[in-house]
């Protein structure tokens, strides 16, 4: 996708955007590539939405691990907090933005209609290339590389933990009233602040979702 007159009415900059999907037997890899063609730096937010299937999110049916000690903004209570829980479960609306979160987070899912399993989400962000450079991905590693140069600079990434729960689900027009029971979102992104991208360079935000029987 490239910028056009239509996109400029919403976001008045020039860019090229590529969304990449790779599917393996036990993994899903997706990556968002944003190339700045504007002639000067641009900034933006980015978020990879993933709605992970769970048998039942209630009663500790899913527990998220790997965020203890991370500062986050609770969008429900509109307060800044530090995560104290080793295992995060769901009993109410949850919409937390974990700043500069670890690159690997896992969800332990209890099986009701399926076997117990662990889903891991590995994330990463980077800036690479120069003017006219094209970002490619190398093999199953999924690590972005610049076709002109191997130079790649890692960037900070956040993680959003989300479940609308019952009351919010009913209020959403594009979400089923009961669907909150069967999902949790563990979403990599750059949300707590905007990502700055120099002209002619490419920003990559990627995730690898893996599943294994517990």
Cα–Cα distance for residue pair 206/90, rounded to 1 Å: 26
pLDDT at residue 67, rounded to an integer: 99
Residue 77 domain boundaries: 5-213
Q: How far apart are CA 205 and CA 155, in angstroms?
A: 9
Provide the pLDDT for residue 146: 43
Tell me the torsion sign for CA atoms 142, 17, 207, 100.
Answer: positive
Residue 61 belongs to domain with CATH number: 2.70.98.10
Q: Taking a C-beta distance cutoff of 8 angstroms, is the pair 65, 107 a contact?
A: yes
pLDDT of residue 130: 61
Q: How far apart are alpha carbons 125 and 157 in whole angstroms?
A: 6
Question: Residue 65: CB partners within 8 Å, gap ≥ 6?
Answer: 86, 87, 88, 105, 106, 107, 108
Residues 194/205, Cβ–Cβ less than 8 Å: no
Q: Which two tokens stand for residue 199?
A: 């002209």
Instruction: Give the pLDDT mean for 89-97.
Output: 98
Q: What is the pLDDT of residue 106?
A: 98
pTM above 0.75, yes or no: yes
**Within the chain, where are the H helices?**
5-8, 165-171
Higher pLDDT, 190 or 136: 190
Place of tokens 């500790």: 60
- Contact between residue 163 and residue 172 where contact means Cβ atoms under 8 Å apart: no
Residue with tokens 């332990």: 108
Token couple for 210: 């893996």
Structure tokens at 115: 């076997």
Structural domain total, the chain? 1
- Residue 142's pLDDT is what? 41
Whether the CB-CB separation of 126 and 193 falls below 8 Å is answered with no
């Amino acid at each position: 996708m490239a910028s056009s007159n239509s996109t400029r009415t919403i976001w008045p900059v020039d860019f090229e955007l590529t969304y990449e999907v790779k599917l393996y037997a036990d993994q899903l890899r997706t990556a968002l590539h944003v190339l700045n063609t504007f002639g000067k730096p641009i900034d933006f937010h980015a978020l990879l939405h993933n709605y992970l299937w769970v048998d039942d999110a209630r009663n500790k049916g899913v527990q998220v691990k790997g965020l203890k000690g991370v500062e986050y903004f609770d969008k429900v209570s509109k307060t800044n907090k530090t995560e104290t829980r080793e295992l995060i479960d769901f009993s109410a609306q949850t919409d937390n933005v974990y700043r500069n979160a670890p690159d690997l987070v896992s969800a332990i899912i209890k099986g009701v209609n399926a076997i117990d399993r662990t889903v891991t989400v590995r994330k990463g962000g980077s800036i690479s290339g120069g003017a006219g450079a094209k970002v490619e991905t190398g093999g199953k590693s999924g690590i972005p590389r610049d076709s002109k140069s191997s130079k790649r600079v890692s960037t900070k990434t956040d993680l959003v933990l989300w479940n609308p729960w019952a009351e919010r689900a009913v209020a959403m027009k594009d979400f089923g009233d009961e669907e909150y029971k069967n999902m949790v979102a563990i979403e990599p992104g750059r949300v707590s602040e905007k990502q700055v991208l120099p002209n002619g360079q490419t920003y990559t935000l990627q995730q690898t979702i893996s599943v294994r029987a517990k």
